[in-house]
Structure 1
Amino acid sequence: MAENKAIQEAEDIDYESLGGGSLTSNLLAGAFAGIMEHTVMYPIDAIKTRMQIINPSPSALYNGIAHAAGQISSTEGIRSLWRGIGSVVLGAGPAHAVYFATYEAVKHELGGNDHEHNPLATAAAGASATIASDALMNPFDVIKQRMQVHGSTYTSISDCAKTVFKNEGLSAFYVSYPTTLVMTVPFTAIQFSAYDSLSKVLNPQRGYDPLSHCVAGGLAGAGAAALTTPLDVIKTLLQTRGTSRDETIRNCKGLADAAKIIHEREGMKGFFRGLQPRVVTTMPSTAICWTAYEMAKFYFNKGNSGEVA
C-alpha cells in the first residue's frame, strides 16, 4: 500500500515544474538520447551517405532506399550497413550529453522555461547546443562516413582514424566543421523551435507524455532535415573527399568549393541527393531522441526529487 502511494505521488509530480533539471540529469539524459537516436536508424544513414557521394563507381549507383539496401546486402553482406557504428556510439553519448546540457542551460538563461511561448529563446539555445556538441562529434562523424562509403578498406575505427590522420592530417577531421555548423545551427534552431511549438499544441499541460514528445520530435526533425539537405550533401562531400578517386574532389577545400563541384556536375538536383533517406532517417531518429531524452530527464529528476521511496 505504501509502495503504491509512493508511485502515485511520483506520477503526480508536475513535469513542467522540474524546469531544465540538474546538470547531471541533463548530461545523462542527453547521452542516452544520443546513443538511441543514432544507433536505431544507422543502416538508413549509411544508405544516405552512399547516395550523396558524387561520381560513385557503377556498382554504387542506387535508385532508392529499398534498391540500395538490397544491392548492398546482396553484394557486400548486410553487416556492411553497420560499418562504422562504433564511432557513432563512442561520439554520440558525450556529444549529446553536451548538446542537451547546453540547450537546457541557455534556454533557462534566456527565459525559455517560462510558461509563455518563447520560440526565439528555444532556437538560440538549440543553436548554442549544436556549436558545442559538433566540435566534439565532428571527428567521429568523419570516421563514420569514411567507413560507410562503398569499397571502404578500413578494418576498424582506430585503423580509420590513424590512416586519415597519417595521410591527411588533423585538419581532415575538421575540414567539414564550418559546413557542419552552417547546416546544424539552422537545423537545430528549426528543430528545437518547432518541437517546442508543437509540444505546446499537442501537450498544452506540458506534462510528461511520450506520445506527444514522439510526434512533435518526429515532425520537427523531418522538417528541419528536408530544409537543410543541400548543406548535408556538401558536408558528405567534404568528409569523404579522401576516399574519392576524383582529383578535384580530393583537393576540395571547403563549403564554397564543394558547392561549386556539386552544381557544375549535377545542377541544383545534386544538392538534394539522399533527401528521402535523410528524412526517413531523421524523422524516427529525432522522435526517438526526444522521447528518450524527455523520459530519461523525467525519471532522473523524479528520482532526484526524493519523492520515490
Structure 2
Amino acid sequence: MASTTEKLIAAVHEEEDEYDYEGLPPNFSLAANMAAGAFAGIAEHSVMYPIDLLKTRMQVVNPTPAAIYTGIGNAISTISRAEGYMSLWRGLSSVVVGAGPAHAVYFATYEVVKQAMGGNAAGHHPVAAATSGACATIASDAFMNPFDVIKQRMQLHGSTYTSLTDCASKVFRAEGLRAFYVSYPTTLAMTVPFTALQFTAYESLTKVMQKKRAPGYDPLVHCTAGGLAGGVAAAATTPLDVIKTLLQTRGSATDSEIRHARGLFNAAGIIWRREGAKGFFRGMNARVVTAAPSTAICWSAYEVAKAYFIKAREES
C-alpha cells in the first residue's frame, strides 16, 4: 500500500494540470487559506522573536548607555546578564495575539488576488506575485500595526509594561489612538516594497529550483527560497524599518524632539541630522538574521499547511 507521502505527492501531481502548486486550488475555501496563513504567521514570529527584540533595541536613536550594543552576540549576553534570559521574550504575547489573524488576512488576500490575476496558471508570473504581495501587506498591516507598536514598546530597555493589555491601555491614555497608527504610512512604505520584492523573489526562486527537482511539495525548496527572498528584502528596506521603530517607540523617549516626531519625513530628518546615512542602517544585520529564517519558517509552515489541506481534500 502506498505510503502517506506517496499519496500526497500523487495528489499534488494530479492537481498540477489545473493550477500551479504555489497557490491553493481555486476551489479551496477562504478558511483554508486563512488557517494556513495564521499557522505560518505564529510560527514565523515566535521562533525568531529574541533576534527581533535585539533589532528594535539596536535601532533606537539616542539610547541610554546601558542599551548600546555592538553586535548580536554582545547584545544577547548583555541582556541575559543584566535583565535575565526571559526578557528576550518580552512582548511576545502581542505577536501571538496579532500575528495569527493578521497573517490569516495576509495569505487569504495574497491567494485571492493572485488567482484573480492569473498567477496560479502554469508559467512564471512575477507581476501577479508582486501585486498579490503588496495587496496582502496593505490589508494585514492595518490589523497588525497596533500590535507591532505594543510589541516594540515592550521590547525597549527599561520597559515597565507588564502585559499586552497594560501596555495598550497606558499608551492609549497617554497618547491616544493615533499612537497606534502614526507609523502606519511608514510601515506601508516599507512593507509594500518589502513584500513585493520578497514574493517576486520567492516565486521566481521556487520556479527555478522546482525545475531541477521532483514536482510537488518539497520542503527544502520552500525553505531555501523563502530564506533567500526574506534576507534580500529585509536588507533593502532597513532604512524604513529604522524610521518605523523611531515612530513606534517615540512615546517612550526622553528626548523631546524624538517624542514629538510627526511622521516619516520628520523622523528621517532626525536620524539624518544626528547620525547621517549610517543611522538608517542600524540593526541591519539583526534584521536580516531575523528575516531570512523567519521567512523560511513562514513559507515552509504555509506550504506544509497547504499540503495538508490538499491531502485532506483528496482523502475526503
Q: If the TM-score is normalised by the length of the shorter chain, which range does it land in? A: over 0.9
Worse overlay, 69-78 or 197-206:
197-206
**CA shift for structure 1 position 7:** 6.0
**CA shift for structure 1 position 102:** 0.4
- How far apart, CA to CA, are the structure 2 residues paired with 1:61 and 1:147? 17
Residue segments in structure 2 that go unaligned for 5+ positions in a row: none
* 8 Å contact kept, 1:42–1:85: yes
Structure 1 equivalent of residue 288 of structure 2: 279
Q: Does 1:134 align with 2:141?
A: yes
Letter of the 1:234 partner, please give it: I
Which of the numbers 19, 24, 41 marks the counterpart of 1:20?
Answer: 24
**1:57-105 residue CA offsets vs partner (Å, 9 max, x unmatched):** 0011000000000101100111111000000000000000000010011
Which of the numbers 5, 9, 18 marks the counterpart of 1:11?
Answer: 9
Which of the numbers 215, 219, 222 marks the counterpart of 2:228?
Answer: 219
* 8 Å contact kept, 1:38–1:92: yes
Structure 2 equivalent of residue 200 of structure 1: 207
**CA shift for structure 1 position 106:** 0.2
- How far apart, CA to CA, are the structure 2 residues paired with 1:169 and 1:5? 57
- How far apart, CA to CA, are the structure 2 residues paired with 1:209 and 1:67? 37
**1:121-167 residue CA offsets vs partner (Å, 9 max, x unmatched):** 10000000000000000000000000000000101110000000000
Letter of the 2:129 partner, please give it: T
- How far apart, CA to CA, are the structure 2 residues paired with 1:271 and 1:140? 23
**CA shift for structure 1 position 196:** 0.2
Matches within 5 A, 1:24-63: 24-63=31-70
- How far apart, CA to CA, are the structure 2 residues paired with 1:54 and 1:278? 16
Which of the numbers 248, 251, 260 marks the counterpart of 2:257?
Answer: 248
Structure 2 equivalent of residue 269 of structure 1: 278
**CA shift for structure 1 position 206:** 4.7
Which of the numbers 153, 166, 169 marks the counterpart of 1:159?
Answer: 166
Q: Does 1:289 align with 2:287?
A: no
* 8 Å contact kept, 1:25–1:301: no
Q: Does 1:185 align with 2:192?
A: yes
- How far apart, CA to CA, are the structure 2 residues paired with 1:7 and 1:59? 52
Structure 2 equivalent of residue 72 of structure 1: 79
Letter of the 2:111 partner, please give it: E
What secondary structure, in the 3-state scheme, does the structure 2 residue paired with 1:13 have? helix
State the aligned residue count.
305
**CA shift for structure 1 position 10:** 3.2
**1:226-257 residue CA offsets vs partner (Å, 9 max, x unmatched):** 00000000000000000000000010010001
**1:207-235 residue CA offsets vs partner (Å, 9 max, x unmatched):** 10000000000000000000000000000
Letter of the 1:20 partner, please give it: L
What secondary structure, in the 3-state scheme, does the structure 1 residue paired with 2:315 have? coil
- How far apart, CA to CA, are the structure 1 residues paired with 2:9 and 2:306? 14
Cα root mean square deviation, aligned:
1.3
Runs of 4+ in structure 1 deviating by more than 6 angstroms, as ranges, are none
- How far apart, CA to CA, are the structure 1 residues paired with 2:44 and 2:4? 32
- How far apart, CA to CA, are the structure 1 residues paired with 2:108 and 2:65? 44
What secondary structure, in the 3-state scheme, does the structure 1 residue paired with 2:108 have? helix
- How far apart, CA to CA, are the structure 1 residues paired with 2:12 and 2:82? 53
Aligned-residue sequence identity (percent) comes to: 65
**CA shift for structure 1 position 169:** 0.3
Change (3 A) 1:7 1:270: closer
Change (3 A) 1:206 1:259: farther
* 8 Å contact kept, 1:87–1:140: yes
Structure 2 equivalent of residue 103 of structure 1: 110
